[in-house]
Structure 1
Amino acid sequence: MKKNFSFLALFLFFAVFAVACGSDTNNATSGTGKTEQPAAVQELKIKHKLGEATVTKNPKKVVVFDFGALDTLDKLGVEVAGVAQGSIPPYLNKYKDAKYVNVGSLKEPDFEKISSLNPDLILISGRQQEAYPELQKLAPTVYVGVDNARFMESFKENMNTIGQIFGKEADVQKEIAEIEKKVKVISDKAKSSGKNALVILANEGAISAYGPGSRFGLVHDVMGITAVEKNLEVSTHGQSITFEFVAEKNPDYLFVVDRGAVAGSDGKSTASALVENDLVKKTKAFKNGKIVYLDPNYWYLSGGGLVSVSEMINQVYEKFE
């Protein structure tokens, strides 16, 4: 009887041991010997200008149409799957590589290519706004364009949204803090200087002006430089003006964005030849060497990203005295 009991006990011991071993082979263990459970998929409800999107945290396949969002993801070390390659500014030329799928132009997304990617997230801004209904059918789509009427507030909201989606909140906050330091320095300088400015867009022989609340209004609204004319039309294309207008307003600073250099028929810069004419040469801006040509890659093509906003502020910061 004792012999049978001992045999039964030994059998039960090995049976339990085998089950335990089998369990260990089916579950990953950490360095502490504890069983690791698969990470739970976390979904985020993201509200934006055009609606709301349910986004998986740390999405793997990301399609980007907004270059400000693209330079932000690049700065944060986040990889993307597809970009609109046609008008990519030089500072983002790495995204012309064939490993990134070309998903169309800024105004005309290639829905077929986007669909074939089966993306987890699409980031857009104003140029793709009309395509939003179709894009959101393909993947969660989030609008991250800045609101010119509240530039810094919307910029920070967009950056925090991107930080939240990709788990980069601390990195985003660090970059924003650096930008805000420069903004404070230049705005303090602007208040004490008493100087004013006019921002114009040069576009293949024509010019338009931008004031507070406009596309380039951060010169006034964020950096605090007084507008030589506050009652300008607020629109994407600015208020069409003449060089007589520039001479009459006689700004201390003339900030010029050359659209032709990045979106013109030949892609060549012609702004200086156009702007520095006999009328403009009579202004304080010309006489004091204060005509500042702003890089259109940041000011016209991008804007609204951690890199582009920082560079935009740097360009004014370096020239304003």
Structure 2
Amino acid sequence: MPVALARPTRTVALTAALALGLAACGSSDSSNSSSTSNGSSASTSGAAAQATGPVTVKDAQGRSVKVAANPGKVVVLDWSVARSLTQLGVPIAALPKASGELPADMAALKSVKTVGTLFEPDYEAIAELEPDLIIIGGRSGNAKVLKEMTKISPNVIDMSVREDDATKHLSAVSDQYKTLASIWGKSSQADTHLASMNKAIGDVRTKATNAGGTTMFVQVSGSKVGAYGPGSRFGTVWTDFGFKPVNAPLKSDGGHGDEINQEFFLKYNPSRVLVLDRSRTIGESAKPALDVLNSGLVNKTDAAKNKKISTVDGFSWYLATDTPLSYIAAANDLAKVL
């Protein structure tokens, strides 16, 4: 019996969620992550949101950087930030080379100049652009890259979302998004987009609570399978979306998960399984994730019997996790197994 996929009729289309983002209005809680000030916090200051003057950004490396309002030539070295700025309608002058396909909402970025990779930026090419603002974050958000970028321009900010408390991570994402929006005077749009994100999450959380059962999240990389639990890089499944985890001794931190075998699935017998195909996400040639999981033991689980095993959008879950559209895509993925 082959691994059974979730039924597509249960999928909440991401395009519909994007449309919702243009109609809703709202805000989100604050946190201790990146914040903005122009006399006060960007999340509370109307003056900062208008971007009529310089905006002081406290970035993820603890620096306070005064950023001129509405910078024109922007280099972005983080996919979460790139997706956020694209949603806000902010032009991007240069990006890292994509390792896989970009989602439809970022299709226009395919023609944008590339300047190295997330791990190895092309500093010479960036310098030649004479950017007004350089934004690093995530995989490029480290002291080494920051040091090199400040040799090119003093206008560099690290917009990584770093929050050790999993219950506060979503709030930190919201604050980072508001910070970015305030630089270009787009706080109103940000509130609308965040309201759409929160609604999508809330809708799935309600259904997940009522559905019961347990949920497992696994990442397949080549032939290796790793399982993740609450507190891990994919902890949003349980913390924000309200699913119940399997009763397994999984790591509560770290980015690599626990390597598991096929017996693990049968032992903990999840009601549903979400699968991230890492190889496909980063453009590697490998056996498809569902084929790797297609075994007699996995197929004996409740998840397989009830067609509740489904792949997720790798770009949103692995490359650009900290932005509203990726949370909406995550909600779409999770709805498929409810």
Secondary structure of 1:212's aligned partner: coil
1:267-286 matched pairs, under 5 angstroms: 270-286=288-304
The 1:183/1:265 distance shift into structure 2, 3 A limit, reads: closer
Match of 2:150 among 136, 140, 149: 136
Query: How many residues are matched?
Result: 278
The 1:209/1:158 distance shift into structure 2, 3 A limit, reads: same
2:201 match = 183
Deviation of the 1:222 alpha carbon: 0.6
Counterpart AA for 1:146 = V
Deviation of the 1:231 alpha carbon: 4.1
Q: Does the CA-based 8 Å contact 1:62-1:81 persist in structure 2?
A: yes
Deviation of the 1:102 alpha carbon: 1.3
Once residues 230 and 242 of structure 1 are traced to their aligned partners in structure 2, the CA distance between those partners, rounded to angstroms, is 13
1:146-157 matched pairs, under 5 angstroms: 146-147=161-162, 149=166, 150-157=168-175
Q: Does 1:209 align with 2:224?
A: no
1:171 match = 189
The 1:147/1:288 distance shift into structure 2, 3 A limit, reads: farther
Q: Does the CA-based 8 Å contact 2:100-2:283 persist in structure 1?
A: no
Unaligned regions of 5+ residues in structure 1, if any?
A: 1-39
Q: Does the CA-based 8 Å contact 2:248-2:268 persist in structure 1?
A: no
- Of 223-232 and 52-61, the range deviating more from structure 2: 223-232
Deviation of the 1:49 alpha carbon: 1.7
Unaligned regions of 5+ residues in structure 2, if any?
A: 1-50
Q: Does the CA-based 8 Å contact 1:258-1:269 persist in structure 2?
A: no
Deviation of the 1:269 alpha carbon: 5.8
1:47 match = 58
**1:197-218 Cα deviation digits (max 9, x unpaired):** 0101000000111111221111
Q: Does the CA-based 8 Å contact 1:88-1:96 persist in structure 2?
A: no
The 1:258/1:160 distance shift into structure 2, 3 A limit, reads: same
Q: Does 1:237 align with 2:256?
A: yes
1:80-91 matched pairs, under 5 angstroms: 80-87=92-99, 89-91=101-103
Once residues 230 and 118 of structure 1 are traced to their aligned partners in structure 2, the CA distance between those partners, rounded to angstroms, is 51
- Cα RMSD for the two superposed structures: 1.9
Secondary structure of 1:312's aligned partner: helix
TM-score, normalized by length of structure 2? Answer: 0.77
Counterpart AA for 1:94 = A
1:301 match = 319
Deviation of the 1:127 alpha carbon: 0.8
Q: Whose Rg is larger?
A: 1
TM-score, normalized by length of structure 1? Answer: 0.81
Once residues 208 and 61 of structure 2 are traced to their aligned partners in structure 1, the CA distance between those partners, rounded to angstroms, is 35
Once residues 224 and 230 of structure 1 are traced to their aligned partners in structure 2, the CA distance between those partners, rounded to angstroms, is 17
Once residues 136 and 172 of structure 1 are traced to their aligned partners in structure 2, the CA distance between those partners, rounded to angstroms, is 28
Once residues 191 and 305 of structure 1 are traced to their aligned partners in structure 2, the CA distance between those partners, rounded to angstroms, is 24
**1:230-277 Cα deviation digits (max 9, x unpaired):** 6422211222222211221111110000001122532x5611110121
Percent identical residues:
32
2:117 match = 105
The 1:285/1:67 distance shift into structure 2, 3 A limit, reads: same
Q: Does the CA-based 8 Å contact 1:68-1:307 persist in structure 2?
A: no
Match of 1:221 among 234, 239, 258: 239
- Of 116-125 and 56-65, the range deviating more from structure 2: 116-125
2:214 match = 196
Once residues 142 and 74 of structure 1 are traced to their aligned partners in structure 2, the CA distance between those partners, rounded to angstroms, is 18
Q: Does the CA-based 8 Å contact 2:57-2:67 persist in structure 1?
A: yes
Secondary structure of 1:227's aligned partner: coil
Once residues 73 and 316 of structure 2 are traced to their aligned partners in structure 1, the CA distance between those partners, rounded to angstroms, is 26
Once residues 170 and 284 of structure 2 are traced to their aligned partners in structure 1, the CA distance between those partners, rounded to angstroms, is 33
- Of 61-70 and 139-148, the range deviating more from structure 2: 139-148
Counterpart AA for 1:178 = S
Q: Does the CA-based 8 Å contact 1:151-1:222 persist in structure 2?
A: no
